[in-house]
Amino acid sequence: MKLSKLAKTLKPSATLAITAKAKELKAQGIDVIGFGAGEPDFDTPDNIKEYAKESIDLGFTKYTAAGGTNELKEAIIKRTKLDYNLEYKKNEILVGSGAKHVLYNLFQVLVDNDDEVLIPSPYWVSYPEQVKIAGGKPVILEGLQESGFKISKKQIETAITNRTKILVLNYPANPTGITYNRQELEGFAEVALKNNLVIITDEIYDKILYKDEKHTSFPQLGSDVKEKTILVNGVSKTYSMTGWRIGYAA
């Protein structure tokens, strides 16, 4: 079977390859610490498992709306309100099979051929490949060790061209764990608004914080910022539900 030219340009997920290798070694009785998939060590909480089993017993196994049930959208709206005082309507929520699927869908509907997408590094391996599949060009902003693996407002400004359409942010970041304070985020927002960029902010690790860090969700920076921002999150990390594949965009 002959693959398309596009498929031949894509790289397999290094995360999945490393994770598979670690599991293979563990099965052989070798003590391994896996630095692959971002997966909590804890099992899904019992109350969630019991509710899922109860729902199956009650027959909730039929087709649902592709973009998510009303009940789930209402729960997402409640969470964003409680956590970050952000208000969304149900028609502003899109549910997918994990945050990865949601991100794929976003790039598919937002990116045209040769559109440029700014991606800070070190980055989660799927961002550039998803942009390529959509016909876009990933532009990497180097977060260097001497800057704590963070990017700067100036780096964003310098990288922008007349083809730049999207700025991707991921914080707390995979793989480094770095996060940004409100002042840093406000600088990013200023540049993005000035250049009419769409901001896709992947905040799937928003509850995985240490050293009394406080998470500022990007849409919290103001109504004008919220209008240009798509917030991506899910249940995988916070609730130890990686295999359940539930993510959303707001």
CA 124/CA 142 separation, integer angstroms: 13
Bridge pairing between strands 198-202 and 229-234: parallel
The tokens describing 135, both together, are 């016909």
Stretch among 36-40, 130-134, 181-185, 213-217 having the lowest mean pLDDT: 36-40
Residue 50 lies inside a defined structural domain of this protein = no
pTM confidence score: 0.91
Task: Taking residues 218-235, report their average pLDDT.
Answer: 99
Weakest mean pLDDT among 16-25, 103-112, 121-130: 16-25
Provide the pLDDT for residue 88: 99
Residue 26 forms part of a structural domain? no
Pairwise CA distance, residues 149 & 176, whole Å: 7
How sure is the predictor about 90, in pLDDT bands with cuts at 50, 70 and 90?
Answer: very high
Model pLDDT, residue 7:
80
Arithmetic mean of pLDDT, 184-208: 98
| CA quadruple 142, 143, 144, 148: dihedral, nearest 10 | 170
* Percentage of residues of the chain with pLDDT beyond 90: 82
Q: How far apart are CA 66 and CA 105, in angstroms?
A: 12
| Domain interval for residue 161 | 63-249
Q: Which two tokens stand for residue 191?
A: 């540049």
Position 215 scores a pLDDT of 97
Please indicate, yes or no, if residue 97 is contained in any of the structural domains: yes
Beta carbons of 185 and 216 less than 8 angstroms apart: yes
Residue with token string 């999207």: 166
Distance of CA 175 to the CA centre of its chain: 12
Question: What total number of domains does the chain contain?
Answer: 1
- What residues contact 37, with CB distance under 8 A and at least 6 apart? 15, 16, 18, 19, 242
Q: What is the mean pLDDT of residues 159-166?
A: 98
Residue 176 domain-assigned (yes or no): yes
In the 8-state DSSP scheme, what is residue 250? -
Q: How far apart are CA 218 and CA 203, in angstroms?
A: 9
**Residue 38, in any domain of the structure:** no
Identity of the residue numbered 1: M
Q: Is residue 199 part of a domain?
A: yes
Q: What is the pLDDT of residues 14-45, one digit of tens each?
A: 777 777 888 888 899 899 887 777 778 889 99
Q: Give the CATH number, domain containing residue 231.
A: 3.40.640.10
Work out the burial of residue 242: count CB atoms within 10 Å of its CB; fewer than 13 is exposed, 13-18 middle, 19 or more buried.
Answer: middle
- Residue 3 within a domain: no
Least confident range from 1-15, 48-62, 106-120, 131-145: namely 1-15
Q: What percentage of the chain exceeds 70 in pLDDT?
A: 100
Q: What is the mean pLDDT of the chain?
A: 94
pLDDT digits (tens, 9 = 90+) for 46-64: 999 999 999 999 999 999 9
58 CB-contact burial (10 Å; exposed 0-12 / middle 13-18 / buried 19+): exposed
| 247 touches 99 (CB < 8 A) | yes
